[in-house]
Amino acid sequence: MSDFYQTGIITTLHQLGKPSLERLESELHGFSRTRPVALVLPALYSEFEGPAMPGIVRELSKVKYLKEIVLTLDQASEQQLEMVREFMAPIATEVNIIHNNGKRIGEIYETLGRNGLDVGPPGKGRSAWLAYGYVLARAQSSVIALHDCDIVTYSRELLARLCYPVANPALDYVFCKGYYSRVSNKMNGRVTRLLVTPLVRSLQQLVGQHGFLVFLDSFRYPLAGEFCMTTDVARVNRIPSDWGLEVGSLAEVYRNYSPRRVCQVDIASTYEHKHQALSADDASKGLMKMTVDICKSLFRTLASDGVVFSDGLFKSLMVTYLRQAEDTLMKYEADATINGLEFDRHEEARAVEAFAKAIAMAAQVYMENPMGSPLIPNWSRVGAAIPGIFEMLQTAVATDGK
């Protein structure tokens, strides 16, 4: 039978039966008259040389309800910028490219720094944040969707299902997170399966049913890179600049909005993108860096809401996490076995061991520096600090794009 079960404190919108893509897109086209939708694409130039972007562009060229597309391009030369512009040409929707390595955008970052606004190092967080600012500056859209640019199995149905809950004014959601099954011939999504869920539930055992932990545990795939929100959310939310982006963004949504106005939606039956190496012996790259950043973000979010961390609590957390993760691993082995999927118990156990090491590293960093790097300021604060920033940003994008 179809899974229509509602669990947790947010609404889950399932994919039931055989929904009509034509109906979704037709209704979205109608909603867009009063709630125009912008699509943000944070991308590296290297992704235009990979297998995913041709399919993404091909699918987006068929979408008629978008008001604008904002592509934030990183690690690209002027020549490569022109190649990307030609690459995006088949899309009829207006496409604006923010050249993150452009001279005028560099001046924007310098202006922010002179005014005491730390926007962090280059990365997806900063790229997404800058694109939000540009959408706000243009004031053409009231809904912003974002998805990654490495989705090999991309279809325009993914985008339609992602946008629909926020674009539909009758549903009254301000934030929607996508989720999907990370299954090929085996189970993927190790960081969510073997780190985030066991860690959140371990913390619940130790500190109790904290509101944010309950909120986070309500998401089927909290680390999904696909979400949709109103422009008001983009204006008031702060975000991390590191791999803690997804957890930190959910923390801001939890802080600023009622869970009743937050939902998650099943956006794809299959989802495949590039995979990070585990890098168990190097915390500066791969899944190890990601997991350390995620854990730091989680600890600091809880601390900001009154949870007191100590050496004793972290020691208990390590033991509790390992037990939770080992029990979880056994559940996934049974699930894989009945479905005839490959399951390498040794590799899964190695991942749990690496994640336990990452939790210990994050705990040490937290104890040495509880504050950590500041979140990227929200656009309300930036606009107050630099009254002409939106005009400056529009001019910078236009000038670098010539």
For 348-401, write each residue's pLDDT tens digit: 999 999 999 999 999 999 999 998 878 899 999 999 999 999 999 999 999 987
pLDDT at 296 over 60: yes
pLDDT at 341 over 50: yes
- Which is nearest to 244 in space by CA: 300, 183, 168? 300
State the first-to-last Cα distance of the chain, in angstroms, to the nearest integer.
Answer: 55
Q: What pLDDT does residue 183 have? A: 79
284 confidence band (pLDDT: 50, 70, 90): low
- Which is nearest to 202 in space by CA: 212, 215, 213? 213
Amino acid (1-letter code) at residue 360: A
How wide is the angle at C-alpha 395 spanned by C-alphas 392 and 396, nearest 5°? Answer: 85
What's the alpha-carbon Rg for the chain, to the nearest Å? 21
Residue 110 has a CB neighbour count (10 Å cut-off) of 10
Cα separation, 33 vs 151, in Å, equals 29
Q: What is the mean pLDDT of residues 24-32?
A: 97
Cα separation, 36 vs 135, in Å, equals 11
**Contact between 43 and 295 (Cβ < 8 Å):** no
Both tokens of 327, joined, read 């029990």
283 confidence band (pLDDT: 50, 70, 90): low
For 47-69, write each residue's pLDDT tens digit: 999 999 999 999 999 999 999 99
For 71-122, write each residue's pLDDT tens digit: 999 999 999 999 999 999 999 999 999 999 999 999 999 999 999 999 988 8
Instruction: Specify which residues 99 forms β-bridges with.
Output: 73
For 158-191, write each residue's pLDDT tens digit: 999 999 999 999 999 999 999 988 778 888 889 9
**Contact between 52 and 273 (Cβ < 8 Å):** yes
Cα separation, 202 vs 14, in Å, equals 27
Q: What pLDDT does residue 277 have? A: 63
Q: What pLDDT does residue 273 have? A: 59
Question: Residue 263 half-sphere exposure, CB side, CA atoms within 13 Å?
Answer: 23
Share of the chain above pLDDT 90, in %: 82
Q: What pLDDT does residue 182 have? A: 77
Cα separation, 328 vs 194, in Å, equals 7
- Sequence-separated contacts (24+) of 25-29 with Cβ below 8 Å: 25/63, 25/64, 25/65, 25/156, 25/160, 27/164, 27/168, 28/65, 28/160, 28/163, 28/164, 28/167, 29/64, 29/65
For 217-241, write each residue's pLDDT tens digit: 999 999 998 999 999 999 999 988 8
Side by side, the strands of the sheet bearing 227-230 are 11-13, 262-268, 175-180, 227-230, 143-146, 37-44, 66-74, 95-99
- Which is nearest to 264 in space by CA: 156, 364, 375, 180? 180
Both tokens of 312, joined, read 């004793």
Mean pLDDT, rounded, of the chain:
92
Strands (E), 80-138: 95-99
Q: What pLDDT does residue 1 have? A: 38
* Top-confidence residue, 115 or 286: 115
For 253-282, write each residue's pLDDT tens digit: 999 999 999 999 999 877 775 656 666 566
Q: Give one DSSP letter per residue of 187-198, joined into a string.
A: B--HIIIIIIHH
For 121-151, write each residue's pLDDT tens digit: 888 999 999 999 999 999 999 999 999 999 9
Both tokens of 58, joined, read 């091909």
Share of the chain above pLDDT 70, in %: 96
3-class DSSP assignment, residue 72: strand
